[in-house]
Amino acid sequence: MERLWGLLHRTQSLSPRPSQTIYKRVEGTQQWRLEEEEEDGEEGAEPPIHFCPMELRGPDLGSRAGKQNLGLWAATARRAAPYLVLTTLLIFTGAFLLGYVAFRGSCQACGDDVLVVSEDINYEPGPDSHQGTLYWSDLQAMFLRFLGEGRLEDTIRQTSLRKRVAGSAGMAALAQDIRVALLGQKLDHVWMDTHYVGLQFPDPAHPNTLHWVEAAGKLGEPLQLEDHDVYCPYSATGNATGELVYAHYGRPEDLQDLRAQGVEPAGRLLLVRLGEISFAQKVASAQDFGARGVLIYPDSADFSQDPHKLGLSSHRAVYGHVHLGTGDPYTPGFPSFNQTQFPPVQSSGLPNIPAQPISADIASLLLRKLQGPVAPQEWQGHLPVSPYRLGPGPGLHLGVNNHRVSAPISNIFGCIEGRSEPDHYVVIGAQRDAWGPGAAKSAVGTAILLELVRTFSSMVSNGFRPRRSLLFISWDGGDFGSVGSTEWLEGYLSVLHLKAVVYVSLDNAVLGDDKFQAKTSPLLISLIENILKQVDSPNHSGQTLYEQVMFNNHSWDAEVIQPLPMDSSAYSFTAFAGVPAVEFSFMEDGQAYPFLHTKDDTYENLHRVLRGRLPAVAQAVAQLAGQLLIRLSHDHLLPLDFGRYGDVVLKHIGSLNEFSGDLKARGLTLQWVYSARGDYIRAAEKLRKEIYSSEESDERLMRMYNVRIMRVEFYFLSQYVSPADSPFRHIFLGHGDHTLDALLDHVRLLRSHGSGDPRAASSGVAPGLGFQESRFRRQLALLTWTLQGAANALSGDVWNIDNNF
């Protein structure tokens, strides 16, 4: 065997060495170039090996010794043949395995026809670039270098100083300035969309009012509202009179508890605290329980009690719209382009009762007048009233005189076209408008958006070109319920679910610096975890964001991941359009940022709340969003975890299981939901195996997989309800009778008595109605076939569908 290896070694050393191309990064410039060197053995090569002349002779057949030698040669050859064959097979197998491993290691986040060595993931330049191959570490360094040159803090300060209420002249001027800024960057397309939408504003000539009502029913002394221009957009207009009742946060369960204490909310005005749920949800719950109007105030108990931290002034009221939905409520389901006139229809999410924000000072006056039972301990607040009582109290008269106007709003777009999949968009956006200074609300997001545009533009100039298109958008009308973004979605809904890969929101990005949250679709959870491990914590030196999160909670997703709420600007993308979305936020630990949606949301206050760390935290958000964009726009295979929804269904089914006995007693079953969930899990696992065993260099195959992956979210929009009647058709995140939450709330009525389950009101069921078998069967059909449709779609072609139905 040793003789065979020696022979092989000598044969290899005699063969000429092939030339090799070496790619080098040239230092001293910001450019990336290739240097090609032909290795010809001159420099650094091994010294040549000299061979002595040899004469190869066979044995002398004519002699006896020759015959003996001939026998020895034959025997040796017979013994060596199996070893020679085995050695050849080993060499071939080793080479094959080495090639396979190298191929399987090719990065999902790289350009065409490249392989991976360690984490140096290749990113090929665009076709017009003269740059060389960019590795992931190089690309990451390039992104961070250009991002570091920005002026985030100055942009936040300047933006917060500009008056930019949606529909105003100041907003129009800012829109033009941002458009000019985008035109100055290396973008392939820049354009604007203008919508004419219905907005509601207070009437300066007839401000909203609040009066005591005398025993005889006449209006008494007015309560002076300190901020006459603070109001609830889309409140019902008119007058409401009734006794006052304290209803905690105004959640359905709070109103149910109020009834249980013997205090009836119907026919009365409700005093509710800011927090827990949105303004719109508070007013909708009050309306469901028969209340006549709602007053919303900020309680100091819901903000930081640290005397060294800033707090909201007691005479400040907080702004908030009350449309239970998104977009222009006067053209529900339709885009408001070019002042088009639709039939006079209004969103079902518009309230029928008036609502008005009031300050803590006014709330204190009202609470002192309340009688009746003492409120539960967890309902007690920190206003100078002790104890809080439930009421009822004296009569109040609320007058709301807001008026509706038709106003133009403009969304601004900038695009970097992808080189391989330009028709697939990774979208990132930020709200631009603000009712007040809006430093935290929209100035931070706008500044980060502009900085990312500048950074990616610089990267394009230095050789980077994403596989998929990057779409940067500045939204208008956000303070009225994501009006600008929803109108755009309504206008292009028929194509966006085929083209939009992911939406990343920069709204409310910096509300503190103690903890990090991500409100997101389940599809993005794994990718977010990966990116958190690569971004440094802005306030824990030497730690990544992931390490900061894990320090206090070993279940990182329980600490970080939250579902998308309706008041998030990303909500419409997922619940309405079926596009996975995420909204990042740095927050204060345990307490809300006190100045959001107030006149005190200034740059100075935000800077003081963060104790001078505003630039560092904004930079961390930019790094997080930027690296997320790189992965989503440049990975060969989209990094969306389509198997996660199996876990989501399992979690909800776990809640339904406890009612299986109650349903069985009525001859009903949840078996069809279980079967559909199983089919989805099997389809997801089958697709995962197909991808694993496929060749990543097959562009056609990768595109087919990406199309199936990017539409998973869309599959969960119920195809059996009308977008005009139920715009939020998502069965997990939506609102309506077709959702899994609505089914669960309905099933709970099997065990409730009397007035029913309070949570049913949030699902569109009037309180007081019990379990209805016909409604249950319809809900089950809507849910089951939507989930089954998702499983079938994930399976691919119809001949590949294999389910148990």
The structural domains of the chain, ordered by start, are: 137-198+405-634 (3.40.630.10), 207-400 (3.50.30.30), 643-795 (1.20.930.40)
Specify the pLDDT at position 592. Answer: 82
**Partners of 586 in beta bridges:** 510, 516
Q: Which is nearest to 250 in space by CA: 219, 276, 226, 211?
A: 276
Q: Which positions ≥6 away from 738 have C-beta within 8 Å?
A: 718, 720, 721, 726, 729, 731, 779, 782, 783, 786
Alpha helices in 250-382 (DSSP H): 252-260, 279-288, 360-368
With H, G, I as helix, E, B as strand and everything else as coil, classify residue 293.
strand
Note the pLDDT tens digit of each residue in 550-566.
877 778 888 899 999 99
Does residue 565 contact residue 583 with C-beta atoms inside 8 Å?
no
DSSP state of 796: -
Cα 390 to its chain centre, rounded Å, is 39
Spatial separation of the C-alpha atoms in residues 251 and 260, rounded to whole Å: 14
Spatial CA neighbour of 242 closest among 272, 263, 218, 213: 213
Long-range contacts of 533-541 (CB under 8 A, 24+ apart): 534/140, 534/627, 535/620, 535/623, 535/624, 535/627, 536/620, 536/623, 537/620, 538/513, 538/586, 538/613, 538/616, 538/617, 538/619, 538/620, 539/513, 539/514, 539/613, 539/616, 539/617
- pLDDT value, residue 74: 54
pLDDT tens digit string along 648-671? 888 888 888 888 888 888 888 888
| Residues sharing a CB contact under 8 Å with residue 114, sequence separation 6 or more, in sequence order | 106, 107, 122, 124, 133
pLDDT of amino acid 68: 52
Helices (H) and strands (E) in the chain, counts: 24, 18
Q: How far apart are CA 564 and CA 738, in angstroms?
A: 18
Instruction: Return d(Cα 716, Cα 730) in angstroms, integer.
Output: 5
- CA atoms of 764 and 741, how far apart (whole Å): 11
Can you tell me the distance from the alpha carbon of 699 to that of 694, in angstroms, rounded to the nearest whole number?
11
Q: How far is residue 159's CA from residue 606's CA, in Å, rounded to a whole number?
A: 13
pLDDT of the residue at 109? 35
Q: What is the pLDDT of residue 641?
A: 94
176-179 long-range contacts (CB < 8 A, ≥24 apart) are 178/412, 178/432, 178/446, 178/450, 178/474, 179/412
HEC string of 563-598 equals CCCCCCCCHHHHHCCCCCEEEEEEECCCCCCCCCCC
Q: How far apart are CA 573 and CA 579, in angstroms?
A: 5
**Structure-token pair, residue 648:** 């989501």
Of 224, 229, 192, 190, give the one whose Cα is nearest residue 210: 224
Instruction: Check residue 507 and give its pLDDT.
Output: 96
Q: Are 164 and 445 in contact (CB under 8 A)?
A: no
Q: Which helix (H) or strand (E) holds 671?
A: helix 671-692
Q: Show Cβ contacts of residue 506 under 8 Å, excluding neighbours closer than 6 positions.
A: 428, 429, 430, 444, 445, 446, 448, 449, 584, 621, 625
What is the torsion angle, in degrees rounded to the nearest 10, for the CA atoms of residue 350, residue 353, residue 358 and residue 360? -110
Residue 756 neighbours by CB under 8 Å, 6+ apart: 749, 765, 767, 768, 769, 770
Q: Which residues are CB-contacts of 474 (< 8 A; sequence separation ≥ 6)?
A: 175, 178, 411, 412, 429, 430, 432, 446, 449
22: its two tokens: 């070496």
Task: Chunk the chain into consecutive blocks of 10 residues (it has 805) and report each block's average pLDDT, rounded to whole numbers.
Answer: 48 44 39 39 42 42 48 58 71 66 42 32 45 68 83 92 94 96 96 94 94 88 88 97 97 95 96 95 96 96 80 93 94 75 76 97 96 95 94 95 94 96 96 95 97 95 92 97 94 88 96 92 95 90 87 79 91 95 89 91 94 92 96 92 89 83 87 88 91 85 90 93 86 91 89 56 54 90 91 78 58
β-pairing, 122-123 with 134-135? antiparallel
Q: Half-sphere exposure of residue 688, counting CA atoms within 13 Å on the CB side?
A: 12
